[in-house]
């Protein structure tokens, strides 16, 4: 069974401590545990990187080995054409996820390159958005 890739971009390694008024107090390790719990027997490849190159390499890995991608690209959402181009090569479902509601924030967070290729987009559910996205991905893969 091919894994679901859950990819996290820059600064999300600081989740739980980083701007808790926006991103909450749940840590990324707790988010990973919630995702694996919901995924059950379905394998999960969970990664975080502050490097654009590494994030693109993880998308390339998912192209060859993954069933679906759940991605919180963080700031690369609004800056990286390279990430968009990488995601365009992915044959399976892509869920773009943001912890905060980016559309209610400053204009710099309104135009997502990733939304141009994502199957689905979710924002503003907090850390709880991750297990919701996993359930949605499992349902999509089962369909």
The distance from CA 23 to its chain's CA centroid, rounded to whole angstroms, is: 14
Among 2, 3, 11, 140, binds ligand DHK (CB under 6 A): 11
Residue 137's SS3 state is helix
| Helix/strand/coil (H/E/C) assignment for every residue in 14-72 | HCCCCCHHHHCCCCHHHHHHHHHHHHCCCCEEEEECCCHHHHHHHHHHHHHHCCEEEEE
| Residue 47 a catalytic site member | no
Nearer to ligand DHK, 42 or 133 (CB): 133
Instruction: Single out the catalytic residue among 5, 23, 113, 130.
Output: 23
Nearer to ligand DHK, 38 or 109 (CB): 109
Report the distance separating Cα 139 and Cα 72, nearest Å: 19
| Residue 113 a catalytic site member | no
Report the distance separating Cα 119 and Cα 140, nearest Å: 10
Chain residues 43-102 in contact with ligand DHK, contact rule CB under 6 A: 72, 74-75, 98-100, 102
Nearer to ligand DHK, 34 or 141 (CB): 34
Least Cβ distance, residue 15 to ligand DHK (angstroms): 9
Contacts with ligand DHK by CB under 6 A lie at: 11, 72, 74-75, 98-100, 102, 109
Positions annotated as catalytic residues are 23, 98
């Amino acid at each position: 069974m091919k894994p679901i890739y859950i990819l996290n971009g820059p600064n999300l390694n600081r989740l739980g401590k980083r701007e808790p008024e926006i991103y909450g107090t749940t840590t990324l390790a707790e988010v990973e545990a919630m995702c694996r719990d919901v995924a059950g027997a379905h394998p999960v490849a969970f990664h975080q990187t502050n490097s654009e190159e590494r994030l693109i390499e993880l998308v390339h890995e998912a192209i060859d080995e993954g069933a679906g991608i759940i991605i919180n690209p963080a700031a690369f959402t609004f800056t990286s054409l390279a990430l968009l181009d990488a995601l365009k090569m992915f044959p399976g479902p892509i869920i773009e996820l943001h912890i905060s509601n980016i559309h209610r924030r400053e204009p710099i967070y309104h135009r997502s390159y990733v939304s141009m290729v994502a199957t689905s987009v979710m924002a503003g559910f907090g850390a709880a958005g991750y297990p919701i996205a996993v359930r949605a991905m499992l349902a999509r893969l089962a369909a």
